[in-house]
Structures are given as C-alpha cells and as structure tokens.
Amino acid sequence: QWDEKRRVYSINFHGRVARPSMKNFQLVKAARDFMPLSGEAICMQFGRLAEDVFTLDVGNPLSPLHAFAMALSTFDRRPAETFRMYY
C-alpha cells in the first residue's frame, strides 16, 4: 500500500520486521497476470530486525533451502564478506 507521507510503497509484515530496508520482501502465489491469488497465504517473507539481524519466514510450496537462497540473493556482496566468514 502507498505511504503518502514517505512517498513509498509499504508492506505489512505482521510485526515480524522491525526496520525498513530495501532487502525486505514478501512472496505470494500469483496468477498468470502476476496478481496475487485471493486468499493465498504468504509463501515467504524476509526482513531486517536490526543492523546485522534478519528474519526469514517460509511456507509451502518453498523449502527452507530455496528461501535461504533467495534471501542470500538480496545481499550485493559475496556471502562470505556479508556474513564475515573468513578462513
């Protein structure tokens, strides 16, 4: 829904996301015209809780592995750098 004050679209994350971020997103099942199917639940949502803390919720038909891969794709650097995994 459009937020006139901030002049941006906003998504209701039902209390699961605490901070605005360009990485926050939701996925729902859609028809061929890309309109959400009525009555369908959210398949996946990903959002920022704190500076380096995110939440990932996933449901049917996605697997946790698929959801994690999509969430990782929102980071613009290599995962090892993003998660500070050094060898």
Q: DSSP string of 13-61?
A: -TTS--B--TT-EEEE-B-TTSPBPTTPPEEEEEEEEETTEEEEEE-TT
Would you state the pLDDT for residue 2?
Answer: 81
Would you state the pLDDT for residue 66?
Answer: 94
pLDDT digits over 21-60, tens only? 888 899 988 888 888 888 888 899 999 999 889 999 999 8
- pTM for this structure? 0.72
Contact 40, 28 (CB under 8 A): yes
Would you state the pLDDT for residue 5?
Answer: 87
Would you state the pLDDT for residue 65?
Answer: 95
pLDDT higher for 80 or 35?
35
